[in-house]
Amino acid sequence: MNNLTNMQKYENYKAQIDRLNRAIKEHFYLEAMFIEYAVMEYRCESILTHGKR
């Protein structure tokens, strides 16, 4: 995901949030947890990568 434009990142996050909401609505809590984990992992990686500047 390193070379994505801001618009691509936005679309990806939007899709992940849609998947998250659908998983919660359908009571797939384990799936929701993994979706949240993936988003948080990417955000942490981004902070650590770009925080070095």
pLDDT in tens, 1-52: 467 888 998 999 999 999 999 999 999 999 999 999 999 998 898 888 888 7
- Residue 33 has a pLDDT of 98
Give Cβ neighbours of residue 38 (< 8 Å, ≥ 6 apart).
16
Specify the pLDDT at position 47.
87
- pLDDT given for residue 53 in this prediction: 63
Q: What pLDDT, on a 0 to 100 scale, did the predictor assign at position 1?
A: 47
Q: How far is it, in rounded angstroms, from Cα 34 to Cα 40? A: 10
pTM, two decimals, is 0.77
